[in-house]
Structure 1
């Protein structure tokens, strides 16, 4: 019975991935007001259907490919924004309103997928990526959030722009993972280093 449920789950994920999503170019052309004019990152309404593509060198991956990469040691990078969250200016801890369940072994860096980042969050992303990858820009990184969230789309491109050469975007995020019946674990956001 478990095998049948897993096969059905994989089929549903595959059907969702071959759905009728628009391309990034079509979405940006239709709603240019939602995108930063210079970077092309989505700056408003982050929770909306994502495109079926992402600019190279980032690669879009399925749940199965993401799992394979993670099993081989890729960094699972959760960029869930936690909407009302803010970090404490004194000690850098994030004040989150609800617990977060994420892919096993994930590193959670809230807010790094916004269309425009504050300098402190840009530095936070750079520092924590360097820490999590051991400073190896060729280390594989799987970037995700939840389904229909542009934060992971933005963050994946931003990470590639920092020189990381093996960036993978998993657009279905924790929702797609859970739909397959795969385990999610509690995760705490990495504190922001404060000066």
Structure 2
């Protein structure tokens, strides 16, 4: 036995009512769109298209060429961008190498002005001067100085201490200072009454020579 289907006052089922409401909503939206379209058309018809004023050719002033305005949206090609990057890289490399050479040259000139004395307190003064010089260097200059002295660069303070120690040892280490040559042979010869460079005769030869001289007399 079939169950009775519920209907509303318009004798419509729920499914029929939904379909009717969908159609009404679609018609209302279409009507609103048509009204908006008509309103825009009326506004467009009332507008007047004005042609943009065109500029005449640029007149050259003196020897300067006329100014050319680049077109909008103009982009560089991939090859042009690569070429620009290569030029920038090569120029930066040249600048870096020249700056490093300039830093090394300045460091060498500065070290020439730091002289090691031989009086009391000269070693401490030389060490203080070297410390002041190396502390004034930048990181790149300090690394270049370590490379020149063949010293490993770890921390800045340690590198400065090693460089100062190396300079002090080079200036005051007795191994690096040449000792004067003493004329020991000349002193011995003057004591024995012989000429420098002559060989000393044994005592037996000297006595034989004296006996021969006495017999000849």
TM-score, normalisation: structure 2: 0.23
Higher RCO, 1 vs 2 (CA within 8 Å, ≥6 residues apart): 1
Q: Give the structure with the larger strand fraction.
A: 1
Larger of the two Rg values belongs to structure: 2
Of Structure 1 and Structure 2, the greater helix share is in: 2
